[in-house]
C-alpha cells in the first residue's frame, strides 16, 4: 500500500505544518508588541506635574480629579484625554466615563467628545480655531466612572474579598511626566496595597488608614502606574451582577473543550479500512482514475497520463514522440472496445472522435487550453462515476469547515492584535487554537468529505489489494515476471495513477525482463525505446508545459489595471493637539 502510505505521510506533514502555524499565531498574540505601540511617537508637549485625586465608594463608583501642568510647544490648541472604558478581566463589564468639568488656568475650557478607538472615550480640550501661545498651562479635569471594584477571585484572591485594581496613571500618556502625585480616598481600610510602575518596577505607596498616597517620576511616555488594593472579606460588598470566571481556569477549560470537540469530530469522520488481500488484476469496468479516487478519496495527480496509458493498453490509441512533444492517435473505434466512461470522456475532450484523429501535446496555448479543459472534464466524469461508491460525509464536511474557520480565526486574532492592538479574549482564543490544533488533519484531509457505501467498501478493498500487488518488492513476490511480460504495459496506467510505476517496473527488471518496449508507444529515446520512467516523465513534462503556457496566456491577458504595561482598569492617557 505504498501510495496510501505516501499520501498519509503527506497529509501528516501538512497537518503538522498547520499546527505550527496555529501555535506561532498564539505565541505571537501573547508576546508580540502591537504595531501601534512600535510606531507610536512621544508628544512634543511635556507634563511638568500630574496630580490625581481618586475617591472610591463602597459600591465601586469612582471620582477622579486630575490636575496637569503642561508645557505646550508652539502651534498647539490644547490637550486631549483618552479614557479606557473596557475591563481587562471582565468582558461583560465596562467603565463609562462622565466628565463633570474642565478648566484651564482656573477658568472653564471648552471640550467635546471626539472620535475614539473601540473601548475608549476621548475628550478633546480646547478650541479648533484658537492656537495657544507656547508655555505652561494648568488643566483640571473632573470625571467619574462606575464598577471600579471587582471580586478578588478574578485575580486568584480569596472568596469574599474585593479588589480595586486600577491604572492610577494610564499607559496611554504620550507626553513624558516629570512628577506624578496620586492620592486615593478608600471606602475602608485595605488588607494589602501593591504598586508597580511600568511593567514590573515596584513603587512605594504610603497608607494612612483609608488614605493612600504615592509619588513617582519622571515617567517616560506610555509608562503606567498600577495599584492593586485588596479589601478583607466583609469590608465592602462583593460587586453584584455578572462577575466573570477566573481567566486561567476558564482558559484551560476552553482549551480542553476545544480539543475534545475536535477529537470527537475526527473520530466520527474516520472510516475503518477494509482488508486488502493481494489481487492480480484490477477491478473490471473501472478505470485507474476512478479506482484511485475511491481508494484515496481524492484525485490522482497523474490521472490524465494514467488514462492515456489505459487507453493505449486497450488498443484505442497510440502515443508517438515528436521530439519536442507528443502526438496521440486514435487507432480503433472506441465503440468496439470496453472503454470506461472516463476514458471515453477524455477521448472526446481531446477531439479524438474517429479513427485517424490525432491530438498534439505541445508547448502551445491551444494545446495547453485543450489539455486543461480535458483534465477538468476527466475529473468531473471521475467524480460522477465515483458517486456510486462514495457518499457525502456531513460530519467530515462540518468538521473540515470548522477547523479551517478556527485556523483562520486564530491567525486573524494575531493580525487583529498586531495591527490594531485589540486582543481577543484568551479563553476564546485558546479554545479555538486547541480545536484547530487537534483537528488539523481534518483541514488537510479531503477524504473526510466522503464515506464509502457498501459497494464502495468492496471496491476500496479490491483497488487496495491490486495496489499491493503492483507495489510488492520483487524479493517478496512469487510472481513470475517472464511468464507475464505483457502485464507490464497492460497495468502501467494503474501503476501510474497509484504512484507505484517505478516499483511495478522494478519487479520485471529484477527478473531480467525488458520493459523498454511498449506496443502503444513509439519514438521515445534512442532506437524508439524507453526506460521505466522516461515515458511517464516525458509525457508529464509535455502536459505540464502545455498547461503552463496556457495559464501564462490567461494571466498576461488579465493583468492590466488595478494597483498592486498597564494591567488595571481605567487608565488611558492623552496628548496635545
Cα 162 → chain centroid: 40
Handedness of CA 550, 551, 554, 555 (dihedral sign): negative
Distance between CA atoms of 294 and 387, rounded to whole angstroms?
9
More confident residue, 310 or 273: 310
Rounded to 5 degrees, φ, ψ at 407 are -60, -45
**Average pLDDT estimate for 3-32:** 81
pLDDT > 70? residue 419: yes
Strands (DSSP E) found in 366-448: 390-392
pLDDT > 50? residue 262: yes
**How many other C-beta atoms are found inside a 10 Å radius of the C-beta of residue 436?**
31
SS (H, E, C) 126-185: ECCCCCCCCEEEEEEEEEEECCCEEEHHHHCCCCCCEEEEEEEECCEECCCECCEEEEEE
CATH topology of domain 45-244: Immunoglobulin-like (2.60.40)
Distance between CA atoms of 458 and 286, rounded to whole angstroms?
13
Over residues 529-570, the pLDDT tens digits come to: 445 456 567 667 766 665 565 555 444 433 343 322 466 777
| pTM strictly above 0.75 | no
pLDDT > 70? residue 78: yes
Of the pLDDT bands very low, low, confident and very high (cuts 50, 70, 90), residue 164 is very high
Please report, for the chain, the start and end positions of each structural domain, with discontinuous segments joined by +. 2-32+251-273+393-446, 45-244, 288-389+453-556
CA dihedral 248, 253, 255, 261 (to 10 degrees): -170
Of the pLDDT bands very low, low, confident and very high (cuts 50, 70, 90), residue 426 is confident
Amino acid at each position: 500500500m505504498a501510495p496510501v502510505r505516501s499520501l498519509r505521510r503527506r497529509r501528516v506533514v501538512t497537518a503538522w505544518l498547520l499546527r505550527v502555524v496555529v501555535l506561532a499565531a498564539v505565541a505571537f498574540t501573547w508576546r508580540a508588541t502591537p504595531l501601534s505601540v512600535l510606531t507610536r511617537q512621544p508628544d512634543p508637549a511635556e507634563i511638568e506635574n500630574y496630580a490625581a485625586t481618586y475617591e472610591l465608594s463602597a459600591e465601586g463608583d469612582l471620582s477622579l480629579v486630575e490636575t496637569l501642568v503642561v508645557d505646550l510647544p508652539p502651534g498647539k490648541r490644547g490637550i486631549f484625554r483618552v479614557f479606557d472604558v473596557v475591563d481587562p478581566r471582565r468582558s461583560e463589564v465596562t467603565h463609562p466615563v462622565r466628565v463633570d468639568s474642565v478648566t484651564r488656568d482656573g477658568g472653564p475650557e471648552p471640550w467635546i467628545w471626539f472620535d475614539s478607538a473601540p473601548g475608549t472615550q476621548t475628550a478633546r480640550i480646547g478650541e479648533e480655531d484658537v492656537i495657544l501661545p507656547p508655555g505652561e498651562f494648568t488643566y483640571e479635569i473632573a470625571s467619574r466612572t462606575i464598577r471600579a471594584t471587582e471580586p478578588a477571585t478574578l485575580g486568584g484572591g480569596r472568596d469574599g474579598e474585593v479588589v480595586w485594581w486600577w491604572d492610577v496613571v494610564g499607559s496611554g500618556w504620550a507626553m513624558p511626566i516629570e512628577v506624578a502625585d496620586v492620592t486615593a480616598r478608600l471606602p475602608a481600610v485595605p488588607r494589602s496595597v501593591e504598586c508597580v510602575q511600568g511593567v514590573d518596577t515596584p513603587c512605594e505607596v504610603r497608607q494612612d488608614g483609608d488614605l493612600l498616597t504615592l509619588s513617582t517620576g519622571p515617567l517616560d511616555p506610555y509608562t503606567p502606574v498600577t495599584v492593586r488594593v485588596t479589601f478583607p472579606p466583609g469590608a465592602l460588598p462583593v460587586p453584584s451582577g455578572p462577575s466573570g470566571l477566573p481567566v486561567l481556569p476558564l482558559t484551560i477549560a476552553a482549551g480542553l473543550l476545544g480539543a475534545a470537540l475536535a477529537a470527537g469530530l475526527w473520530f466520527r469522520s474516520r472510516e475503518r479500512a477494509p482488508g486488502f488481500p493481494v489481487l492480480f488484476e484490477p477491478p473490471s469496468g473501472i478505470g485507474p482514475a476512478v479506482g484511485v479516487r475511491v481508494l484515496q478519496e481524492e484525485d490522482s495527480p497523474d490521472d490524465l497520463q494514467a488514462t492515456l496509458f489505459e487507453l493505449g493498453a486497450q488498443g484505442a490509441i497510440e502515443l508517438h514522440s515528436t521530439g519536442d512533444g507528443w502526438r496521440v492517435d486514435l487507432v480503433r473505434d472506441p465503440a468496439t472496445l470496453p472503454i470506461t466512461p472516463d476514458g471515453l470522456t477524455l477521448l472526446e475532450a481531446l477531439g479524438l472522435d474517429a479513427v485517424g484523429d490525432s491530438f498534439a501535446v505541445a508547448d502551445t496555448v491551444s494545446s495547453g487550453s485543450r489539455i486543461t479543459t480535458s483534465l477538468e472534464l476527466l475529473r468531473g466524469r471521475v467524480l460522477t462515476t465515483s458517486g456510486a461508491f462514495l457518499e457525502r460525509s456531513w460530519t467530515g464536511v462540518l468538521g473540515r469547515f470548522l477547523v479551517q474557520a478556527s485556523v483562520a480565526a486564530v491567525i486573524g486574532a494575531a493580525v487583529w492584535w498586531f495591527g490594531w492592538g485589540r486582543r481577543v479574549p484568551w479563553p476564546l482564543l485558546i479554545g479555538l487554537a486547541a480545536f484547530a490544533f487537534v483537528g488539523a488533519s481534518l483541514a488537510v484531509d479531503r477524504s473526510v468529505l466522503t464515506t464509502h457505501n457498501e459497494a464502495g467498501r468492496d471496491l476500496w478493498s479490491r483497488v487496495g489489494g491490486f495496489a499491493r500487488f503492483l507495489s510488492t518488492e520483487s524479493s517478496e513476490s512469487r510472481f513470475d515476471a517472464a511468464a507475464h511480460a505483457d502485464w507490464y504495459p497492460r497495468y502501467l496506467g494503474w501503476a501510474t495513477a497509484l504512484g507505484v510505476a517505478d516499483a511495478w517496473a522494478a519487479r520485471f527488471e529484477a527478473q531480467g525482463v525488458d520493459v523498454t518496449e511498449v506496443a502503444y508507444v513509439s519514438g521515445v529515446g534512442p532506437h524508439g525505446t524507453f526506460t521505466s520512467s522516461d515515458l511517464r516523465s516525458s509525457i508529464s513534462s509535455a502536459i505540464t508545459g502545455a498547461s503552463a503556457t496556457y495559464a501564462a496566456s490567461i494571466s498576461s491577458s488579465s493583468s492590466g489595471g488595478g494597483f498592486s504595561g498597564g494591567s488595571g482598569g481605567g487608565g488611558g492617557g492623552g496628548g496635545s493637539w
